[in-house]
Chains A and B, each alone.
Chain A
Amino acid sequence: MTEATTSHDPSEPARNKRTLFQNLEIDTRLLGMIGAFLLIAIVFNIMTEGRFLTPRNVFNLTIQTVSVAIMATGMVFVIVTRHIDLSVGALLATVSATMAVTQTDLLPTMLGLELGSPLIAPITILFGAIVGTIIGAFHGYLIGYLAIPAFIVTLGGLFVWRNVAWHITSGQTVGPLDPQFVSLGGIDGTLGETGSWVFGALAALFTLYLLFGARRRKVSHGFPVKPIWAEILIAGVALAAILGFVWILNSYDIPDRRLERMFAARGEVMPEGYTAGYGVPLSVLLLIIVAAAMMVVAQRTRLGRYIFAAGGNPEAAALSGINTRLLTVKVFAIVGFLCALSAVVASARLNFHSNDVGTLDELRVIAAAVIGGTALSGGIGTIYGAILGALIMQSLQSGMAMVGVEAPYQNIVVGIVLVLAVFIDIVYRKRTGV
C-alpha cells in the first residue's frame, strides 16, 4: 500500500493512498485484541449452543473479570517502569482479611457501631484502601530507594502478605460481611434498568465529548485531523458498544423469587407479572471508573508521562530531572490502592473472607497485562489493553468450564495462549516497526 509513497516520509503517506485503518487512526493492536475476544466468544457460543452469549453469562463473565482487571490496570504501570509485582494476590488477601475483621469485629466492638450501620462499609473500605496503599508504597520504597529488585521485594511480599492475612483472621473464614459492602461484589448490587440507561447515556455523552474535544483542540492548533466520516464511524461504534453492553446487562432478569423477597423486604406485595433486569453491577461501574481514571493518568498527566519516560529510558528520565525513585514509590502505591479495591470486590462477591482469596491472582494479573500488549522490556502498555486481556482470559476459562473442560486443562490452555499472545505481539511489533 505504500510502494507509491517510498519517496515520502513513511509515516506520512499521501492522503489518497491511506487505507481504511489509517484514516480511522485506531490502534491496530486494539483491533486485533477485540477480534480475538469476539472470536473466542463466537466459538464458545457455538460450542455451548448459544449459552455463552446469554445475558446471564455475559453478566457473570463481567463480574468475574472485575477484580483481576482492576489490578491489571496498575500492573501496566509497574511493568511499563520495568518492574514486576508478584505480591498483588497476597496483598489483596491481607487487605481482604483486614476489612473483614474491621467490619465484623473492630468497628462493632471498638467504635460501638451496630451491625448494619451505614457507616460500616465506608469506614471499612477507606481503612482497607489506606492499608493497601501503605503496603504498596513500602514495596516501592524498598525497590526505589534501597534498590532491591522488584522481583525479590514482591516475591518476599507474596510469602509475607499471604500469611499475614492468615494471621489476621487466625486462619478462619470471616463472614457474612456487611450488606452494603457486599453490594460492591456483583450480583447483590446493580444499578437497575433505569439507572443503567442513565449511566449508559452519561458514558455515551462523555465519550462524544472526549472524541470531539480532541478534534477541536487539534483543529485550533492547525494540526491535521481525520476525515469527519471516520470520526463519526468511531463515535458510532463506541456508542453502540456502550449502549449494547447496558442493554445486555439489562436483559438479565432478576428471578421472580428474588424479586418477591425484595418487595417483601419493603413490606410490599409484588404486582402480578412484574419483571426487572439487573443492569450494570456496581463492581463493573467501579472498574469503569478505575479504567477511566487510570487512562487519564497514563495519557494526560505528568505522572503518566514520567512513568512511560522512565520505562523507555530510565537514565533519560533521571537526566530530565524526574525523581525516578519517588516515581517507583508512587507506582507501587497505586497498585496497592488498586489491590485494596479488588479486595473489596473479591470478598464482597463471596460474601465472606477466606484464606485463599486472591490465590494465583498475581499470575492472572500479569498475564492480563501482558496479553493486553504490555511489554516486559518496559515503556509500552495500555490500560484498555490490560482490561481486554483480563476479559479474554476470563472468557477462555469460563467458556472452557461451560464446555466441560476440567480445570487443569483450562490452565494448560491459558498458559499456551499467554505465550502465543506475546509471540504474536513481537511479530506484530517487528512488522510495524513500533
Chain B
Amino acid sequence: MADTSIDRSVTPLCEMRDMQKAFGGIRAVDHVTVNVYPGEVVGILGHNGAGKSVLMKMLSGAYQRDGGQIFVNGEEVQINNPRDARAYNIETIYQTLALADNLDAASNLFLGRELTTRLGFLDDQSMESETRKIMSRLNPNFRRYSTPVAGLSGGQRQSVAIARAVYFDAKILIMDEPTAALGVEETRMVAELIGELKRQGIGIFLIDHDIHQVKQLCDRASVMKNGRLVGTVNVDEVTEDDLLGMIILGKNPKAEAA
C-alpha cells in the first residue's frame, strides 16, 4: 500500500532530530532522527527493547528528552508534557493503552478533554453519544458503553484507545502496536482507518512487529536496534527479508549496495 504520491520536497509534518534519552546507564534512545510527511505512514521497527516506545513517548510528552529537537511543520517546538503534545494535535495510542480501568469507554475517550454543559458540569450523555458514533466505525459489535473498561476484552480496550486518538482531529498520530490484540476483522478495520487518515493528510508513526503488515501499511520504515537508528528505507524498495536483516542484524541494505 506504499504511496508514491507523497511529496517529500515539502517540509516534514514532524521531525524528531538527534533524539536522546537514557535511563541510568541504559541509552534507550541514542541520537535518533526520524520524520513523517503529510499523508505518510512511517513504520518504527526494531526488536523488543530497541527503544521504539521511548522515542515515541518523547514526542507524545510522556518522557522528557535528554537531547535533540522536535519540529512540527518546520518549527521547533517544546513538548514537556502530554498537554503540550495534544496542543500540537499529536495523538497517541500507547502500547499499554493508558485506560483508566474503573471508568467506562466514554469517560476514557474524553479523559482530560471532557464535554461540559453550559454550567460547567460533565455532559456524560453527549460524551456517550459521540463515543457511540466513533466506536460504530471502529468496532461495530461494541455494545458495552456503561461498564468500566476493566470488563472489556483486550481488543475492545484497544478499540477504545484507538477511538480516543482519532476522535480529536489528530494531525500527527503515534500508534504503538495498535493491532496487537485485535481480531482479523478489527485489524482490517484499523488498516482501513489508517488509509482514510492518510488521505486526510495525517502523518502516522506506526510501531509494528508484523513485517507483512508493515509492507502493506507503511510508506517508509525506520529501524532501531539497541537505541540507535539502523536506517530509514522506502518500504517499496526493500524486501521483507531486507527489513528482517535490519531488525535482527542491524545491517542497512542501502549501505551494502553503496
Contacts and interface: CB of A to CB of B under 8 A. Distances in A.
A317 B113 CA distance: 12
Interface stretch (B6-14, B79-87, B223-231): B79-87
A380 B100 CA distance: 11
A223 interface: yes
Interface string A151-168: 000000000000000000
B147 interface: yes
B42 to A, nearest CB: 22
B196 interface: no
Nearest to B117: A300
B129 interface: yes
A4 interface: no
A305 interface: yes
A308 B100 contact: yes
Chain B facing A: main interface SS: loop
A321 B144 contact: no
B111 A223 contact: no
Interface residues of A, number: 33
A381 to B, nearest CB: 10
Contacts of A433: 151
Nearest to A315: B98
Contacts of A309: 100, 103, 107, 111
B98 A380 contact: no
A318 interface: yes
Interface string A296-326: 1001111001101101110111111110000
Nearest to B57: A319
A343 to B, nearest CB: 30
Interface residues of B, number: 37
B5 interface: no
Contact of B112 (A11, A222, A320, A379): A320
Given A221-B125, A301-B122, A434-B148, A317 B82 contact: no
Interface in B118-162: 120-122, 125-126, 128-129, 143-144, 146-148, 150-151
B96 interface: yes
A221 B151 contact: no
A217 interface: yes
Contacts of B128: 221, 223
A302 to B, nearest CB: 6
Given A223-B125, A319-B82, A321-B81, A379 B101 contact: yes
A272 interface: no
A317 B62 CA distance: 11
Nearest to A218: B125
A49 interface: no
Given A11-B147, A309-B100, 8 more contacts: A223-B125, A305-B103, A305-B107, A309-B111, A312-B102, A312-B103, A313-B102, A320-B112
